[in-house]
Structure 1
């Protein structure tokens, strides 16, 4: 996992807000290359990208977490399912401390295909880990729906 500063921060911003979709492939490959130091994605049954709200995804034209997850899936021969977890409530852009971020995403996700998560080891994929509020809420939602285990793997982390 990289630090979300300097060149990496610029690359993430270009991907998300600059429409540079091809960066998703390159950054996803970096995730494949560095995964071995952090975890073994092959221990998981399914990769799940952290979803955007449909309005945000429509405006952006893509979900950056899906682009990253597809590359990680390709690199490790794992399935990716971006329809299992849905953002059911639009949330404000994340800011503030841990408590504010947790409140912001509470109840924002739902499992749409419980059959795909029941008794499965799932790996959430996202671009940036800041406080863990989004990943934590996604994991809670998946575990409540019957997932056996939920791991989190992100491209970068904010320190």
Structure 2
């Protein structure tokens, strides 16, 4: 599987038209095979699947020397239900160090997976940085998520980091 780095999806182009200049690297398309993998991993709690993308994540990580990976937040309710944070679990399984940048999501209402596109785009993400998050302002960060659907969560995290003065930001998602 090749990482697509040169093409922007329609959602990214829409975000850029609003003044957000950010690039998310998506490993693959969100297809039936990935959907089945994600269901087994997240919904059924099969953490043995966490290292599934070991080689491609390690290869990408090596091209991003010095960048700190930041898992996107999940809600406390999802963490309690699953017993693990999915993106942290993946990074730990593949041996990529990461930092905690975001407080657990405070989003209210239905789960993201149950919302339609418009509802996802309009949802208030309530993204906040952890109080002790402090790095050099020129530090490189990679925002990491399992699925990039509309980009709303990724961009809410991007905005929180930008407002704190961080400039060197990119994203990586397993599927788009």
Deviations 1:53-109 (A, max 9, x none): 22221111011111223345x2xxx5311x221134134322222x43132144x21
Contact map agreement 2:146 2:173 (CA 8 A) in 1:
yes
Match of 1:119 in 2: 138
- Distance in 1, matches of 2:70 and 2:161, equals 10
Give the gaps of 5 or more residues in structure 1.
none
- Distance in 2, matches of 1:30 and 1:54, equals 29
Which aligned segments of 4 or more residues in structure 1 are displaced greater than 4 angstroms? none
Normalized against structure 2, the TM-score is what? 0.72
Contact map agreement 1:68 1:126 (CA 8 A) in 2:
no
- RMSD, aligned CA: 2.3
In proportion to residue count, which structure has more strand? 1
Contact map agreement 2:142 2:172 (CA 8 A) in 1:
yes
Pick aligned residue for 2:111 from 83, 93, 113: 93
- Distance in 2, matches of 1:132 and 1:86, equals 18
In structure 2, relative to structure 1, the CA distance for the partners of 1:30 and 1:140 (3 Å cut) is same
Pick aligned residue for 2:50 from 12, 24, 31: 24
1:6 CA drift (Å): 2.0
Count of matched residue positions in the alignment of Structure 1 and Structure 2: 146
1:97-108 matched pairs, under 5 angstroms: 97=117, 99-106=118-125, 108=126
